[in-house]
Amino acid sequence: METSLTTDPEEAAAFIRGGGIVAFPTETVYGLGANVFAERAVAKIFEAKRRPADNPLIAHIGDASQIDELSNDVPASARVLIDEFFPGPLTVVVKKASRVPLIATAGLETIGIRMPRHDLARAFLFACGTPVVAPSANISGRPSPTTWQAVLDDLDGRIDCILQGEATAIGLESTVVDCTGAVPCVLRPGAISIEDLRRVVPEIEAFSGDTSKAAASPGMLHKHYSPRAKVVVVNQVSEAAEGDEAAFIGIGEPSGRFGRMAVCRSAEEYARRVFAFFRECDQAGIGVIYCECVEETGIGRALMDRLRRAAAG
Ligand code: TXA
Ligand code: MG
């Protein structure tokens, strides 16, 4: 299939309305969308990404009124989070309505819902006129795409259209909070930090980092965020071994010479740049990428989660 490129949200939405799959920008990473109620279209997402069938998708909405199309059971904790953080980089998991097809949720009776805070994404979702399920728009296991060019690298010829926007502002995927239990808990850390969440829901459980919550969030078990190069997380800048085939990303400035290097001014900048840096290193034939640890507060917690997973992959 030929992949159309456009900057027009109406043109991109026409593919969704016709049962196609479309990559679009958000404030976190680019997503690969389909109409949540079109089972054939949702199946195409799994095929195009080579995504394991047990990994559930997040439903994206342009307007809060669309929550009712997805769930008839939004508990008080979810309401509070929605009021406070929608639109934004937060996904709430609630019981799904029966009309939401099981293929969208990978067989789960729950669904993740998110309203992006991004003008082009919202114009696109509005024009689609339906909630749109969208995983990150990469081949499964690869670093999430933060530019439309990264989407094209992975999915050219495999999807109907790419809605071209700017590079994404946050660079890591949304915070996922499970609101179906007695106490809400963070399944995936993101830009909305545990500190932010606790301001409005003090009892919320932090992301534990273990996989005992795997049944609730099967996607967490899969290989993730991995460049072809080996990823090594270092505590100190000085632990990174220089060389033309080595790369470094972090906040400190290493003294050695590296084939590729990204020195960031903050954890936010580090988060924004890391996935694109991984892809750039692969294109440059880098063998090992040293990633400096950051403090696990704010977005630092999400960043360390992604770095550890990339290193494990
Ligand atoms: O920022 C984001 O969330 C991006 C953009 C495109 O919105 N999307 C994204 O989707 O990161 P994806 O598919 O790469 O990650 C979705 C993850 C799943 O792997 C799973 O861990 C969790 O969200 N998830 C989704 N639905 C769930 C559910 N019903 N129950 C538990 N976890 C769920
Ligand atoms: Mg993903």
Are residues 175 and 120 part of one domain? yes
DSSP3 helix / strand / coil % (the chain, rounded to 5) = 30, 20, 50
Are residues 201 and 243 part of one domain? no
> Angle at which helices 119-128 and 9-17 pack, to 10 degrees?
40
Residue where one domain finishes, among candidates 187, 214, 241: 214
> What is the model's pLDDT at position 207?
77
Task: Indicate if ligand 1 lies below 6 Å from the C-beta of 110.
Answer: yes
Q: In this predicted model, what pLDDT tens digit does every residue of 65-85 receive, in sequence order?
A: 999 999 999 999 999 999 999
CA 89 / ligand 1 centre spacing (Å): 11
Q: Which parts of the chain sit beneath pLDDT 50? A: none
> What is the model's pLDDT at position 275?
98
Are residues 131 and 9 part of one domain? yes
CA dist 173 and 157 (Å) reads 24
- Domain membership of residue 223 (yes or no) is no
Are residues 262 and 167 part of one domain? no
The answer to whether residues 25 and 166 touch, using CB atoms and an 8 Å cutoff, is yes
Are residues 168 and 196 part of one domain? yes
CATH number where 266 lies: 3.40.50.11030
Task: Indicate if ligand 1 lies below 6 Å from the C-beta of 136.
Answer: yes
Task: Indicate if ligand 1 lies below 6 Å from the C-beta of 138.
Answer: no
- Here the tokens at position 187 are 């399944």
pTM: 0.96
Q: Which of 176, 179, 211, 213 to mutate to test the pocket of ligand 1 (most atoms within 8 A of CB)?
A: 176
Are residues 241 and 187 part of one domain? no
Q: Residue 269 sits in which domain range?
A: 230-312
Are residues 134 and 56 part of one domain? yes
Q: Name, in order, each residue with C-beta under 8 angstroms of 65's C-beta and a sequence gap of 6 or more.
A: none
Residue where one domain finishes, among candidates 150, 183, 214: 214
| Ion ligand 2 neighbours, Cβ < 5 Å | 136
The number of domains in the chain is 2
- Domain membership of residue 222 (yes or no) is no
- Domain membership of residue 125 (yes or no) is yes
Q: Which of 73, 173, 177 to mutate to test the pocket of ligand 1 (most atoms within 8 A of CB)?
A: 173
CA dist 60 and 311 (Å) reads 29
CA 244 / ligand 2 centre spacing (Å): 30
Helix H or strand E encompassing 133: strand 132-133
| DSSP calls for 161-202 | EEE--PPPSS-SPPEEEE-SSSS-EEEE--SS-HHHHHHH-T
CATH number where 19 lies: 3.90.870.10
Are residues 250 and 203 part of one domain? no
> What is the model's pLDDT at position 224?
75
Report the atom number in ligand 1 closest to the C-alpha of 111: 29
CA 104 / ligand 1 centre spacing (Å): 11
Q: In this predicted model, what pLDDT tens digit does every residue of 277-290 receive, in sequence order?
A: 999 999 999 999 99
